[in-house]
């Protein structure tokens, strides 16, 4: 029955060339509600802990002294440190950069580009004659963690403007998510839709819904906080596909699509995962 539900959903998603992004989002929620009828879908912002009660208890205990706490503190310090010209990151963002993560990624109608939070942080640096930071971990991830922390409780609000370029970017991200790749010929949906809530070796797989709400993430296996695109690269490597560069057009489009699918769900980043 579960395989039939997944097959029907994928047939609808991939065949519905004229479906709007909002129709896609509602169809995704309906899919998971049918798949997990007793689950409060809002719990899916917690990833695997929405499905695994034992792991959830351990995770909640860890949240008393979360491993990302230092990253938030260091990110706040870096965020407020003036550039050589006297300006700070606050000068580059709406509302001084506080409580704005729910609006990322967004489509910049002027440049035709998808702007992620991390992309905007480094653009702020280069616009102020500072060197860009490494994309995946370190200071940039810490700054993003601090900005995410100030946005906790806000609801994801990714907008696809009435611009054919924005819709094309969304559709490209959607196609990426459902396309098999690598020597193992896995698509993102194979793990996070078809197998959501199931075990893969020693790990329980999270569901697609809510996957974009809690980044950056401190992963125990990383031993540090990292961005969502670090996870994209890791997933590509795990299915033996060549990863794209961080903040490539492909990954920004994927993040745009995945984030839109979580619209209306509460931000809860940064978070900790195994």
Tens digit of each residue's pLDDT (9 = 90 or more) over 41-87: 999 999 999 999 889 999 999 889 999 999 999 999 999 999 999 99
- pLDDT given at position 241: 97
- pLDDT given at position 87: 98
The set of residues, in sequence order, having a beta carbon less than 8 Å from that of 35 and lying 6+ positions away, is 2, 5, 6, 196
CA dihedral of 76, 229, 32, 168, whole degrees rounded to 10? 110
When pLDDT is averaged across residues 246-268 and rounded to a whole number, the result is: 98
Nearest to 10 by CA among 175, 142, 131: 175
> Would you say residue 9 has pLDDT above 80?
no
- pLDDT given at position 17: 58
When pLDDT is averaged across residues 16-31 and rounded to a whole number, the result is: 90
pTM for the full predicted model: 0.93
Is 2-64+159-273 a CATH 1.10.760.10 domain?
Answer: yes
Dist CA 61 CA 67 (whole Å): 12
What residues act catalytically?
A: 235
- pLDDT, tens digit, 9 for 90 and up, residues 153-176: 999 999 999 999 999 999 999 999
When pLDDT is averaged across residues 27-46 and rounded to a whole number, the result is: 96
- pLDDT given at position 11: 47
**What are the start and end residues of each CATH 1.10.760.10 domain in the chain?**
2-64+159-273, 69-149
State the CATH architecture for 69-149.
Orthogonal Bundle (1.10)
> Would you say residue 6 has pLDDT above 80?
no
Nearest to 230 by CA among 240, 244, 250: 244
Chain CA centroid to CA 235, Å: 13
- pLDDT, tens digit, 9 for 90 and up, residues 187-246: 999 999 999 999 988 888 999 999 999 999 999 999 999 999 999 999 999 999 999 999
- pLDDT given at position 203: 82
- pLDDT given at position 10: 56
- pLDDT given at position 201: 81
């Amino acid at each position: 029955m579960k395989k039939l539900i997944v097959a029907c959903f994928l047939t609808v998603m991939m065949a519905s060339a004229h479906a709007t992004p909002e129709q896609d989002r509602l169809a995704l929620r309906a899919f998971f509600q049918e798949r997990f009828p007793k689950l409060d879908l809002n719990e899916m912002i917690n990833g695997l802990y929405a499905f695994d009660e034992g792991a959830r208890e351990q995770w909640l205990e860890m949240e008393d002294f979360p491993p990302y706490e230092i990253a938030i503190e260091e990110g706040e310090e870096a965020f407020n440190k003036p550039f050589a010209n006297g300006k700070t990151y606050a000068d580059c963002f709406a509302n001084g950069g506080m409580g704005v993560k729910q609006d990322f990624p967004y489509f910049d109608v002027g440049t035709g580009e998808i702007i992620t939070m991390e992309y905007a942080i480094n653009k702020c640096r280069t616009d102020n004659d500072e060197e860009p930071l490494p994309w995946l971990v370190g200071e940039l991830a810490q700054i993003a963690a601090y900005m995410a922390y100030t946005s906790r409780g806000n609801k994801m609000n990714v907008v696809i403007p009435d611009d054919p370029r924005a819709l094309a970017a969304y559709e490209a991200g959607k196609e990426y998510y459902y396309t098999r790749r690598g020597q193992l010929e896995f698509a993102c949906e194979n793990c996070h839709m078809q197998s959501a809530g199931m075990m893969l070796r020693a790990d329980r797989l999270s569901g697609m819904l809510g996957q974009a709400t809690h980044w950056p993430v401190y992963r125990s296996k990383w031993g540090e906080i990292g961005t969502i695109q670090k996870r994209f690269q890791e997933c590509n490597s795990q299915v033996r596909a060549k990863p794209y560069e961080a903040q490539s057009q492909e990954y920004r489009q994927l993040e745009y699509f995945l984030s839109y699918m979580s619209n209306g769900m509460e931000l809860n980043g940064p978070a900790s995962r195994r």
